[in-house]
Structure 1
């Protein structure tokens, strides 16, 4: 399976550090090269706003102002764009891929459970979550469906079926992880693999975060309640789908 690591061209130090971590994995497990092929994917750089012109059809600042009290920062748009390009790549290749950001650390469990992870029966599975999982439904020993936010886009397995759904509804009026957490928008459930196979490096991601203003935070608190209600209703009316996911885990 191909593993794409999102990395800014100007972040050569991160690329070098990540390559070192990959080499260490290969040394620990000689069979890993037959399972995973790592390659770097150049991220869209938000420091040059001209880079975002190609994504005008996805940018919706008006809706962002309405829903969250402000437009996404250039870095947030660039982060979204970088992942979106890989969603398109997944569809183009017509094969499952793993997407990683360049600030992740491979946990000891990575090599132990990578076979179970790449053979997951689901179309979208996260390797970790930033938030404590709440509102969880255990599909099996290793796969947990959460009806609340998982947060973070550090690493996930993506199959073409999920990539198509993500791409169909994609608009840059939410930060990427917020969008991916809103399963009721794109019909892709949040499934997290346990134990987590990666963790986030102590440094902040260079392709991702933007500071949140007080206005945005106020809007987020209001909308959080609204989305919680929508999520609850979606789960209630889609119990059959969840049952099907549980059945997949048994096969």
Structure 2
């Protein structure tokens, strides 16, 4: 029996969310499975043993990651490993989404495009970063993204893309890491219409807000790294646009 290609990250205790997403999947006639989210608040995940805290403190953030952030990263990382083990693209969703009325068609197209491009974002981008249309097929538009900040509520990923992502030590929130093409070389693309038509109605149950302040003495190195990141993202984006001829 084939394994479902849709994996929904959800804490075991989040029954209301599970019921809601299960109903939506059933209405769209989609076969899926839940991935029991890793809750960093009940203990440090074994997958986080290789976290680069020095880089985190002095370059990327200035403060230690929250337990919820680590659990969120571990959950997505676990599904990247799952994708590699399965040997085919999968769709990963979080449990606080509202699906598009043509979700089944969008997912089929996303899995197809993941085979070619590796990582396909399935939600709208909320920032004003650069993006360029790469393909137009009927109603579907595929765009190359300069960055992928805040974009892990729903995506399709191939084993090859997952391999690129798992090779590097953790030092960023997982969404920021996926967008950091200069680290791993995996570009992010967005498929429109988006699978996710609404999100954010509920607070995250996996990753909670961190109110800790960054130490001021780490500000200079962080600002230098931020400038480096912006330059590298732009260079990588322009390079790929040239390669694609867009």
| Band of TM-score, shorter chain | 0.7 to 0.9
Corresponding residue for residue 9 of structure 1: 12
Q: State whether structure 2 residue 116 is matched by structure 1 residue 116.
A: no
Q: Once structures 1 and 2 are overlaid, which stretch shifts more, 155-164 or 145-154?
A: 145-154
Q: CA deviation at 1:203?
A: 0.5
Query: Whose helix proportion is higher, 1 or 2?
Result: 1
Measure the CA separation in 2 of the matches of 1:43 and 1:113.
25
Query: TM-score w.r.t. structure 1 length?
Result: 0.83
1:31 aligns to what? none
1:37 alignment partner in structure 2? 31
1:21 corresponds, among 10, 19, 24, to: 24
- C-alpha separation between the residues in 2 aligned to 1:149 and 1:38? 25
CA contact (8 A) 1:62 1:71 kept: no
**Aligned-partner Cα distance in 1 for 2:162–2:23:** 29
> Per-residue displacement from partner, 1:79-127 (whole Å, max 9, x unpaired)?
0000101100111111111111111110234245343323213211010
Q: Work out which of the residue numbers 50, 60, 68 in structure 2 matches 1:75.
A: 68
CA distance in 2, matches of 1:87, 1:122: 16
Cα contact 1:5–1:38 (8 A) shared by 2: yes
For residue 105 of structure 1, what is the aligned residue in structure 2? Answer: 98
In structure 1, the partner of 2:160 is 161
| Aligned residues between the structures | 232
Q: Say whether the 8 Å CA contact 1:133–1:146 is kept in structure 2.
A: no
Moved over 6 A (4+): none
Mapped to 2, the partners of 1:216 and 1:172 lie a distance apart of: 20
Equivalent in 194, 219, 222 of residue 192 of structure 2:
194
Structure 2 residue matching 1:145: 3-state secondary structure:
strand
Q: CA, structure 1 residues 105+138, in 2 after alignment: closer, same or farther (shift >3 Å)?
A: same
Verify: 1:59 aligned to 2:51, yes or no. Answer: yes
Distance 1:149 1:3, change over 3 A: closer
Q: CA deviation at 1:72?
A: 0.9
**Of residues 72, 93, 100 in structure 1, which corresponds to 2:86?**
93
**Contact 2:48–2:170 at 8 Å: present in 1 too?**
no
Q: CA RMSD in A?
A: 2.4
| In structure 1, C-alpha distance between the alignment counterparts of 2:149 and 2:101, rounded to whole Å | 22
Q: Residues 129 and 97 (structure 1 numbering): CA distance in 2 closer, same or farther, change over 3 Å?
A: same
> Which ranges in structure 2 are unaligned for 5 or more consecutive residues?
none
Residues 13-39 of structure 1, C-alpha deviations (whole Å, 9 max, x = no match): 21122111212222xxxxxxxxx5200
Gaps of at least 5 residues in structure 1 are 27-35, 247-251
3-state SS of paired residue (2:18): helix
**Which range moves more in the overlay, 219-228 or 96-105?**
219-228
Please say if residues 109 and 196 of structure 1, whose CA atoms lie closer than 8 Å, have aligned partners that are also in contact. Answer: no
| 1:99-248 equivalences in 2 (<5 Å) | 99-120=92-113, 121-141=116-136, 142-169=141-168, 171-198=169-196, 199-211=198-210, 213-215=212-214, 223-238=225-240, 241-243=243-245
